[in-house]
Amino acid sequence: MAFLDRVARRVLDRMRLTVRPTATAMRQGGHRSPFKASGVEFADHRPYVTGDDVRHIDWKAFARHGQLVMRQFEEEKDAFIHLLLDVTGSMSRGEPPKIDVARRLAASFTYVGVRQFDRVRVVPFADVVEEVPLALHGPQDLPHLERYLSEEDAAGPTFFDEAVKQLASRGAPRGLVVVISDLMAPEGWEDGFRRLGAMGHDIRVVRVGCAEDLDPAFEGELELRDAETDERVRLRVGKGLLERYRVEVKKHLEACRDACRRAGGRWIEVDVAMPTDAMLKRVFAAPEGRSAAS
Amino acid sequence: MTFASFGWGALAAIAGATALTVLGLYLLRRTPKPQLVSNVTFWMRAAQSSRPRFLRASRIPWLAFLVTLLIAMLFVTEIGDPRFGRGVRGTTVIVLAAGRSMGGTFAGERRIDRATREVRRWVDRTTAGGRVAVVRAGMRPETLLALTDDPADLERALAGFELDDGPADLDGALELADRIVTASGDPGQILLVADRDVEHETQATRVLIPVGVPSDTLAITDFTARRDPLAAGEYVAQVQLRSFSSREGSARLRIMDGEVPLLDRRVTLPAGDGARLTAQGFSAERAELEARLEDIEIAGSEDALAVDDVAPAVVPPLEPLSILFVTPGNVFLRAALAVHPNANVEQIAPGDFASRDAEALAAHDVLVLDRTPLPEGVDHPSVVLFSPTDGQLAASGPAESPRVTAMLGSHPALRGVRLDGIRIGRSLRFATDPGDQVLIRSGADALAVAREVPGRRLVAYGLDLSSTDLVEREAFPLMVHDSLHWAAAARDELPLPRRLGEPLYAADQTVLGPDGEPVSATERAAIRQQGIYHVGERALAFSGTVHARELPSGATAGRFRTSDPLPPLAVLVAAALLGLMLLEWTLLHRGRLE
């Protein structure tokens, strides 16, 4: 794959994508599900009731205690992974451009997902979501992903909440929603995250940032042009204004992060200047208390 | 009209041009540079949150622009001088030095040319409501231009500006200028444009614009010509040179009597040194001489002043002098009278003197009475008395072995006479009347007296010529000659002033100047140009050699310098513009929307 070189794939081979049990699907898969059934992982005992499958009676416990108890196992299911890829105009900024990093991350999530037999859907969004998202079911579909991502250019404004609404209206099955974006739009994120959380999705927000967004290096009399809307504003940019700008962006990102967490999501920040392996390790790092490596 | 070189139309044009320039610079400075950003909304929020509270952001750029424009307009109104209250406002009285030193040159430019240029430059900065007067600081200060607000008047006044050959009376000129400022009733200042400053208190603020740089000059510091008392009919020309330079110099000295050269010699003068040269043995009935330094060479420099390179002198014509010499016998006095050029001496005994009536006495130009009293009632206009014991100007008593303690060397009767160390055995002393001038004094005793009353001149010497060695010295015939000359001049209507600045009395006669042009009565009140003036048949030399001295250094390197404690104008303007930029930067650089 052009987006993932051999080194990246070797790193990703050691990674595992965990999904909250309540967000798993119905097919047999590699994720823990909220159901206790005939799995391989022992979960608990319960008293035998009439009609239970006698094959699951723990005879050794009966021999020791003289009571019939049933052995219960965790049921492992597969998961839907929805990759919401920001392809708005602001993703064209940065060095390298944020869209390139976002494509690479989307490819990484897809690679890890299909490798553990999850069903991956890549959903580019700007002001609307793509009419025909790309669905991948196995490693054999990865070439389609590369072609698909290559055709996506960064353009247009950001309406994340509208994109989430459209996603919901299309009946997207519950699963893991990975939002890959720079979040450089002032509104729509909190509602979108809340809506995703309410739909039962496990949310993971990967914010792709660049130095220009957080710490711009230009000063003077400038005509600022919006990369998404082409709106133009004349400003005299000085140290004071730069400081105020940093505060505004930081406040916005903190609001987005809080909204993400309130929706039960996980917040990850990467920078375009980060080395690829470090970036992947951060993105696929397990939440505290769990190990991401297989 | 305005006195400044700019009329109201020009002022408006300048103001407009300045406004356009400021506007252009403003717009140029505010031309934005394009910059692509992810989302401008955050920038707009930041700009709104940093907007100053006290003014609407959209108005501040225009407000700063208007402040800039207003100050620029004030600059224009003040004709470039932002030092309000200290600049060229109100009445300015320009004191322009017109002394001989202002003719000094440097790099081909005379000091007076530089001075007039500075005056014009100053007037160009005069405020629109200012008025200017010009005081010409020559040998006699005068108002060259009364208070006016018309620049054309100034141009006319400066166009015909000429220098005097004598020194400038800056004190008098400043006093006159101070009176003009005070009388004007407006706030004002005195602008002194000169090559030197003077300690003179003025009520008005005084600004000095010194012109000139340290310069070298070789000068004629004295040039005289006189009849040789020891050689009847001949005259002696004496010239004194001096180097006002720190370097050695040389020049070709020429003394000309009209077209006839009397002396032509190359003279070398060490640094700061002088030389005296004498040319004698010339016989002429009259002479009009001119000494001139030519081909002046100074090591590493050049002669900066031309006016001190030339000096005039006149040898008056010999006029027959009829002398009635009354004496019981005096060989020394007779010899002294005999050497007087063109003298016609009639010697008689004292006893014959009483038989001469007034008409007979009037036929003689001078009466010389040796030990013979001048009777009361004889009112001959020219009398020289030796040891008069009675009659007019008689002695009051004897003085034994007197010593000469003082002599009036400035009196024409003793011009050039030195009485150092003479021995006097006996003498008479005189009781002086008011108006008498004591020529020779021994303590409180007057040994010689000169009396001048309207139409009469009398000289009386109390020295006993038989008991003094004065008669054996060269001073004696000179003293007799000077006394005769002074006494005989009592009939003259034309005294011989020779210093510049003195008046030239000519009654109704026409006076021709050195250039041959008639000299007006006003100009005759104080002669300012050196040279030979002709009054009828008489020639008078007015020389400025007495004023020859080192050239004032003026300003170092000729740079503009004033006594104003404020920094130069350019620094102030630069500081003001810098302040404006900082103000705008402080207000606008915090960033805001247009």
Mean pLDDT score, B538-562: 68
pLDDT at A241 over 70: yes
Rounded mean pLDDT, B545-558? 69
Q: Are A93 and B38 in contact (CB < 8 Å)? A: yes
Asked whether the beta carbons of residue A233 and residue B593 sit closer than 8 angstroms, the reply is yes
| pLDDT higher than threshold 90 for residue B340 | no
Say whether pLDDT at B145 is over 60.
Answer: yes
**Which residues on B lie below 8 Å from A241 (Cβ)?**
43, 46-47, 50, 590-592
pLDDT for the residue numbered B83? 42
Q: What is the rounded average pLDDT of the residues A130-155?
A: 75
Q: Residue A136 corresponds to which amino acid?
A: L
Interface test with A, best of B29, B37, B53 (most A CBs within 10 A): B37
How distant, in Å, are the alpha carbons of A234, B277, B323, B382, B511 from that of B522?
Answer: 76, 37, 39, 33, 12
Q: Give the pLDDT confidence of B435-489 residue by residue, as tens digits.
A: 899 999 998 899 999 998 888 899 999 999 988 999 888 889 889 988 988 888 7
Over 70: is that where the pLDDT of B496 sits? no
Per-residue pLDDT, B493: 39
Query: Which pLDDT tens digit goes with each residue over A264-293?
Result: 889 999 999 999 888 888 888 866 544 443
Q: What is the pTM of this model?
A: 0.46
Residue contact A220–B31, C-beta within 8 A: no
Q: Which of B395, B384, B405 is nearest to B330 (CA)?
A: B384
Q: Pick the more confident residue, B9 or A12.
A: A12
Other Cβ atoms less than 10 A from the Cβ of B63: the count is 13
Q: What is the mean pLDDT of residues B346-363?
A: 89
pLDDT greater at residue B421 or residue A33: B421
Of A228, A232, A248, the CB nearest to B45: A248
DSSP one-letter string for B106-146: ETTEEHHHHHHHHHHHHHHTS-TT-EEEEEEESSS-EEEEE
Contact A248, A261 (CB under 8 A): no
pLDDT band at A25, cuts 50/70/90?
low
Interface test with B, best of A210, A230, A237 (most B CBs within 10 A): A237
Band the pLDDT of A22: cuts 50, 70, 90. low
Which residue's entry shows tokens 């992060």? A257
Residue among B6, B106, B226 nearest B557 (CA): B106
Q: Are strands B91-97 and A232-237 parallel, antiparallel or unpaired?
A: unpaired
ipTM summary value: 0.78
pLDDT at residue B87, rounded to an integer: 47
> Given an 8 Å threshold on Cβ–Cβ distance, is A236 in contact with B589?
yes
> Which pair of tokens denotes residue A268?
């990850």
In chain B, % of residues over pLDDT 70:
82
Per-residue confidence (pLDDT) for residue B492, from 0 to 100: 44
Residue type at B581?
Answer: M
Which chain B residues touch A247 with a CB distance below 8 Å?
Answer: 46, 49
User: From the CA of B181, how many Å to the nearest CA of chain A?
Assistant: 53
Q: Do B34 and A225 touch (CB under 8 A)?
A: yes
Q: What is the pLDDT at residue B594? A: 37
pLDDT, residue A155, reads 76
Q: Looking at residue B363, what DSSP letter applies?
A: T
Which tens digits make up the pLDDT trace of B157-211? 888 888 999 889 999 999 999 999 988 887 788 989 998 888 888 888 888 888 8
- Residues of chain A neighbouring B52 (CB-CB closer than 8 A): none
Within 18-77 of B, beta carbons closer than 8 Å to A belong to 29-47, 49-50
Contact in structure between B96 and B177 (CB atoms under 8 Å): no
To the nearest whole number, what is the mean pLDDT of chain B? 81
Of B31, B42, B590, the CB nearest to A248: B42
Phi, psi of B2 (to 5 degrees): -130, 155
Least confident window among B209-223, B460-474, B491-505: B491-505
| Chain B residues with beta carbon closer than 8 angstroms to that of A220 | 33
Tokens 């009278």, residue?
Answer: B337
Q: Please say if the pLDDT value at position B341 is more than 80.
A: no
> Given CB atoms, is A87 within the 8 Å cutoff of chain B?
no
pLDDT reported for residue B430: 92
The answer to whether residue A218 scores a pLDDT higher than 80 is yes
Give the best residue of A214, A235, A242, A256 to mutate against chain B (max B CB count within 10 A): A235
- Least confidently predicted of A23-27, A177-181, B230-234, B542-546: A23-27
Residues of B in contact with A244 (CB under 8 A): 46-47, 49-50, 591
pLDDT value at position B252? 95
pLDDT value of residue A136:
73
Q: Which of A28-37, A242-251, B41-50 has the lowest mean pLDDT?
A: A28-37
Q: With beta carbons under 8 A apart, name residues in chain A contacting B589.
A: 236, 238, 240
Report which of residues B439 and B31 the model is more confident about: B439
SS (H, E, C) chain A: CCCCCHHHHHHHHCCCCCCCHHHEEEEEEEEEEEEEECCCEEEEEEECCCCCCHHHECHHHHHHHCCCEEEEEEEEEEEEEEEEEECCHHHHCCCCCHHHHHHHHHHHHHHHHHHCCCEEEEEEECCCECCCCEEECCHHHHHHHHHHHHCCCCCCCCCHHHHHHHHHHCCCCCEEEEEEECCCCCCCHHHHHHHHHHCCCEEEEEEEECHHHHCCCCCEEEEEEECCCCCEEEEEECHHHHHHHHHHHHHHHHHHHHHHHHCCCEEEEEECCCCHHHHHHHHHCCCCCCCCCC
Would you say residue B537 has pLDDT above 60? yes
* pLDDT the model gives residue A40: 59
Res B519 pLDDT > 60 = yes
pLDDT of residue B12: 73
The Cα of B36 is separated from the nearest Cα of chain A by a number of Å equal to 5
pLDDT score recorded for residue B563: 43
Which chain B residues contact residue A231 at CB under 8 A? Answer: 40
Residue B84 has pLDDT above 50, yes or no: no
Model confidence at B556, pLDDT cuts 50, 70, 90, reads: very low
